[in-house]
Structure formats: C-alpha cells, structure tokens
C-alpha cells in the first residue's frame, strides 16, 4: 500500500464525512422549518377560492373543527381519500361546528388546476367543498408529499397532521375528540 494511496484515502474519507457534517449542521439549523406545519401551530395566513366561488381564509376556521386535505387529481391515494372524506362530509352535513375543505394542489397553472378539479368533482359527483390552491397555501402549510391532511381545532390551531392516505375513521375519531374538548 503506497503512501500516496493512504493520503488520498484519508482525504477521500475526510471530505465525505465533512460533507455529511455540513449537511447535518444545515439540517439542525433548518429543523424548525422542516416537515409539515406541526401540531400546535396556528393556521398561517392563506386565501384560496372554492369551486363555488367563495373565498376561504383563516377566519373561516374559527369556531369549527376543520379538516383540510391537500390533494391532486393525478394522485391515486388522494382520489381514494377524497372519496372517503366526501362520505364523511355527508355524515356531518348540517353541522355548523365541523367543516371539510379539499384543497387542490395540482401543481399546474391555476386555470388548468381549476378545470381538472372541477372536472373530477363533477365526474365523481362530490359534495365535498373543494378549493384550488396556486401553491401559496400548500407552502404555508409546508405540504410535501400528498395526500396531506390537517385537522384544526375551533381556534384554528393545527392539532393533527397526516402524511399519506388516512382513513376516514381516524379523521372521524379526531373530529369527535376535538368536538368533546370544545364543549
């Protein structure tokens, strides 16, 4: 084994470990802003328009348990979850203390996103309220992979976050727990 080989080996391993250490330091510095908006956070400022033309903003979260799910028509797990939430929304129909909002995060220009979301809602005969996001609301809730579902309490505080497909029974349990707390 040559001295040159040993020297190059030391530099090689040291450089790799230094890169890992630098990334670790960066991750530590970014930790608070990594991942989704965690439970305990207040809902950030946002404004999206629903398919029915209404504006949906943080003030609409007040006094209600809110279930926000970020989805897209190209995402099979999202479509499956949306179908479930549509049924759950029907179960809570007429309840002023619970609301659902499916926030479309299609990742395409707004007009196209609108057309796709509306087309899907019509095809599936969804009664679930749907809003179309231009990316700004998703960024504020720090949405990564979808479906991404957030359950907020009546004060507009994030209480539960789900990454990936979540069952409607889990959401129903969380809604009931938050309703009990607020009574």
Binding flag, residue 12, another protein (CB under 8 A): yes
Q: Which residue has the tokens 């504006």?
A: 55
Residue from the set 16, 42, 54, 122 that interacts with another protein by CB under 8 A: 16
State the nearest-atom distance from the C-beta of 54 to another protein, in Å.
29
Computed on alpha carbons and rounded to an integer, the radius of gyration of the chain in Å comes to 21
> For residue 47, what are the contacts with CB-CB under 8 A and spacing of at least 6?
55, 56, 57, 137
Q: Which residue has the tokens 């991942």?
A: 35
Question: Is the Cβ of residue 31 or residue 93 nearer to another protein in the bound state?
Answer: 31
Of 2-10, 67-75, 90-98, 118-126, the segment contacting another protein by CB under 8 A is: 2-10
Give the Cα separation of 105 and 61 in Å (integer).
Answer: 19
Q: Which residue has the tokens 């002023």?
A: 96
Binding flag, residue 39, another protein (CB under 8 A): yes
Segment 64 to 103, residues that bind another protein, using CB under 8 A: none
Report DSSP state, residue 58.
G
Segment 151 to 180, residues that bind another protein, using CB under 8 A: 161-164, 166
Question: Is the Cβ of residue 118 or residue 163 nearer to another protein in the bound state?
Answer: 163
Contact (CB, 8 A) for 158 and 150: yes
Sites of contact with another protein (CB under 8 A) = 1-2, 4-13, 15-17, 19-20, 23-24, 26-27, 31, 34-39, 144-145, 161-164, 166
């Amino acid at each position: 084994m040559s001295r040159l080989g040993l020297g190059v080996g030391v530099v090689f391993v040291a450089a790799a470990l230094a890169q890992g250490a630098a990334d670790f330091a960066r991750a530590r510095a970014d930790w608070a802003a990594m991942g989704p908006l965690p439970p305990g956070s207040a809902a950030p400022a946002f404004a999206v328009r629903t398919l029915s033309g209404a504006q949906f903003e943080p003030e609409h979260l007040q006094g209600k348990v809110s279930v926000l799910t970020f989805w897209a028509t190209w995402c099979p797990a999202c479509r499956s979850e949306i179908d479930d939430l549509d049924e759950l929304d029907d179960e809570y129909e007429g309840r002023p203390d619970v609301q659902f909002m499916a926030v479309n995060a299609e990742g395409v220009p707004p007009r196209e996103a609108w057309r796709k979301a509306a087309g899907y809602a019509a095809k599936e005969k969804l009664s679930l309220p749907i809003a179309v996001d231009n990316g700004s609301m998703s960024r504020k809730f720090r949405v990564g992979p979808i479906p991404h579902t957030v359950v907020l309490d009546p004060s507009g505080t994030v209480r539960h976050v789900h990454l990936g497909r979540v069952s409607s029974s889990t959401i129903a349990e969380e809604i009931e727990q938050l309703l009990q707390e607020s009574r």
